[in-house]
């Protein structure tokens, strides 16, 4: 049943990567429990603009849980406490009247703050550019049912491909590791015939770029898996390690 709640927001404000940030406190009244978290932030920004203040900067695009841009740290959890949802899929019915909600950007050296709650996640793009693709000529496109890939393998590849690159795994990891993201992108190609031709080159290049960009090491705490909005499994990290060891042995 729809109802309205009053909440207190503690929002991180930071004018730029080199500026010192701080929390601002705002009160919002009569927020519908049927509104999404981002719609609630829209209400906050309308209030700020009407009051002659600068709106809070935050990333968003599809608002359908597809693009991964709505990356916020909410009450100590990437995308909020709900499991397997993005911030745009989080609804205010998950909060109670009188709650205080703390909202922060991703905290990672590899994701510097651009402004307020928006961070620069171009490091992920650079990792993908290093090897997250196939460039071999595989000929024409055959009918999908004619490709000899067992369903279990195809399902694993699709599960890995569900990663939306939001960065929640990095934000959740105490080391700021990007291993879950990289392993998902390596797995989705390593499992399929089209990706095997460049497999060794791919895994070495993507791991090298990950290390170069300042991401931390994986210590298998599984925080990344627990906070991933798409439920990507850390079994992909094991596959990434196998792929990397095999590639180095070939050298």
Residues 181 and 195 in one domain: yes
- Over 90: is that where the pLDDT of 145 sits? no
CATH code of the domain containing 14: 3.10.20.30
Degrees, nearest 5: CA angle 106-163-109: 25
Number of other residues whose CB lies within 10 A of the CB of residue 195: 19
Residues 168 and 67 in one domain: no
- Judge contact between 71 and 118, C-beta under 8 A: no
Residues 83 and 129 in one domain: no
Q: What's the chain's Rg over C-alpha atoms? A: 20
- Count of the separate structural domains present in the chain: 2
Per residue in 48-60, pLDDT (tens digit) is 999 999 999 999 9
For the entire predicted model, the pTM comes to 0.93
Query: In which band, very low, low, confident or very high, does the pLDDT at 140 lie, cut at 50, 70 and 90?
Result: confident
- Judge contact between 105 and 114, C-beta under 8 A: no
Place of tokens 């603009």: 49
> How many angstroms separate the CA atoms of 180 and 12, rounded?
27
Residues 131 and 240 in one domain: yes
> How many angstroms separate the CA atoms of 188 and 93, rounded?
35
Q: What residues make up the domain containing 41?
A: 4-115
Residues 15 and 62 in one domain: yes
Number of other residues whose CB lies within 10 A of the CB of residue 191: 22
Per residue in 154-199, pLDDT (tens digit) is 999 999 999 999 999 999 999 999 999 999 999 999 999 889 989 9
Residues 41 and 12 in one domain: yes
Q: Which two tokens stand for residue 187?
A: 């797995």
């Amino acid at each position: 049943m729809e109802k309205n709640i009053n909440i207190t927001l503690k929002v991180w404000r930071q004018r730029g990567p080199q500026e010192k940030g701080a929390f601002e406190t705002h009160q919002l009244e009569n927020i519908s429990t049927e509104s999404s978290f981002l719609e609630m932030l829209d209400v906050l920004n309308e209030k700020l603009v009407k009051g002659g203040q600068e709106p809070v900067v935050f990333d968003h695009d599809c608002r359908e849980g597809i693009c991964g841009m709505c990356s916020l740290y909410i009450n100590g959890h990437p995308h909020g406490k709900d499991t397997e949802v993005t911030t745009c899929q989080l609804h205010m019915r998950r909060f109670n009247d009188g709650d205080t909600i703390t909202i922060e950007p991703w905290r990672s050296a590899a994701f510097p703050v651009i402004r307020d709650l928006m961070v620069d996640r171009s490091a992920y793009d650079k990792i993908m550019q290093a090897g997250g693709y196939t460039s071999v000529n595989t000929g024409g496109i055959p009918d999908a049912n004619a490709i000899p890939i067992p369903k279990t393998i195809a399902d694993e590849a699709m599960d890995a491909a569900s990663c939306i690159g939001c960065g929640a795994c990095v934000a959740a990891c105490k080391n700021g590791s990007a291993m879950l993201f990289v392993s998902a992108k390596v797995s989705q190609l390593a499992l399929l015939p089209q990706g095997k031709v460049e497999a060794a080159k791919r895994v070495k290049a993507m791991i090298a770029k990950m290390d170069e960009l300042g991401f931390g090491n994986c210590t298998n705490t599984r925080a990344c898996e627990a906070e991933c909005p798409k439920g990507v499994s850390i079994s992909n990290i094991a596959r990434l390690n196998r792929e990397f060891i095999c590639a180095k042995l070939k050298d």
